[in-house]
Amino acid sequence: MKNYAHRTRTLVTGGAGFLGSHLCDRLIAEGHDVICLDNFFTVTKDNVAHLLGNPHFELTRHDVTFPLYVEVDQIYNLACPASPVHYQHDPVQTTKTSVHGAINMLGLAKRTKARIFQAFTSEVYGDPEVHPQPESYWGRVNPIGIRSCYDEGKRCAETLFFDYHRQHNLDIKVARIFNTYGPRMHPNDGRVVSNFIVQALKGENITIYGDGQQTRSFCYVDDLIEGFVRLMGTESGFTGPVNLGNPGEFTMLELAEKVLQIVGGHSKLVFQSLPADDPKQRQPDIGLAREKTGWVPKVPLDEGLKRTVDYFSKLLKD
Ligand SMILES: NC(=O)c1ccc[n+]([C@@H]2O[C@H](COP(=O)([O-])OP(=O)(O)OC[C@H]3O[C@@H](n4cnc5c(N)ncnc54)[C@H](O)[C@@H]3O)[C@@H](O)[C@H]2O)c1
């Protein structure tokens, strides 16, 4: 049995990405040795450049669809393009990243007896008939649509996690993440928070898909990373899946208005047709996370948006 209170050798795949880089910061701040692995498919080294001189931080260029041989105590498997623009760019590679990536990281966990955390997604619920979505809901996913490479790739990887757990007794921690936002999001990846903020900062019109009445829940990145670390620290045998997200629910119109209030300017709202299979509402039921880890998100949307606007306004000036 490993002791997770001491300094661990932790592998973070997708570690140079939006969530991964915040997780690396947190793990380094807690005194762990971090191997950050990324193939730089959606990012550059910028998100982790500030960590490069740290002797406890190691950056490795590697694609998770190929096996990896390192000695580690714990693994956070985050590697996967997460926004529709990125994951639809090369859909076959997206499914491979989820499925082959899971097999390779599970194999590594099996060999090293490491505890392994997997970033899954609320997309496994598809366009849900149940609202809010508890972990027990099996979802309503189109298996052949343009989002399926991501949704079904993640669903298959979840199956692999639970089969490795049942068959090989692997110590798995499975998170289902709902929309998260914050500094280091990509400015051009088509996700709604970054889209609205960048459009408003550039003084462009704000694009709303559909009538803007569809809802989403938005979790600030620091809250989410706290949820990751707490879930990773739960007792052996507790696997999840566990929803992590902020249950506050907002329509796209409300979000656009909040962004405009913070940024100011004269952007107008323009309406375009909804993309295929876009879910109409999403809201996490976070009862299990609260019960098992005491986790609740703390950063209100207005506050998180202000911090994100600050980040993007600096980024756009550079
Ligand atoms: N941000 C969210 O709201 C959200 C919601 C649900 C799930 N997730 C999941 O969290 C994880 C991280 O998402 P993110 O928002 O940080 O996205 P991101 O695109 O910023 O980060 C993903 C990282 O994985 C890397 N990557 C992609 N394919 C790879 C491969 N084959 N091998 C190695 N590295 C690879 C990318 O270069 C990138 O750095 C993803 O697995 C995503 O599915 C994120």
Residues of the chain short of pLDDT 70, as ranges, are: 1-6, 276-279
Q: What pLDDT does residue 189 have?
A: 85
Residue 93 is encoded by which pair of tokens? 């590679």
Active-site choice (76, 87, 150, 164): 150
Burial environment of residue 292 by CB neighbours within 10 A (0 to 12, 13 to 18, 19 or more): middle
* Strand spans (E) along the chain: 9-13, 33-38, 57-61, 74-77, 115-121, 172-177, 180-181, 206-209, 215-217, 219-220, 242-244, 249-251, 269-272
Q: What pLDDT does residue 128 have?
A: 87
Q: What pLDDT does residue 79 have?
A: 98
Strands 206-209 and 180-181: what pairing? unpaired
The residue type of 210 is: G
Q: What pLDDT does residue 3 have?
A: 47
Q: Which atom of ligand 1 is nearest to the CA of 184?
A: 20
Spacing, Cα 268 to ligand 1 middle (Å): 31
User: Helices 301-317 and 252-263 meet at what angle, rounded to 10?
Assistant: 60
Ligand 1: residues with CB < 6 A are 13-14, 16-20, 38-43, 63-65, 78-82, 86, 97, 101, 119, 121, 177, 179-180
Spacing, Cα 264 to ligand 1 middle (Å): 31
**Residue of 80, 125, 185 to test ligand 1 pocket, by largest number of atoms within 8 Å of CB:** 80
Q: Give catalytic status of residue 137 as yes or no.
A: no
pTM, two decimals, is 0.95
Q: Quick check: 40 and 67 in contact, CB under 8 A?
A: no
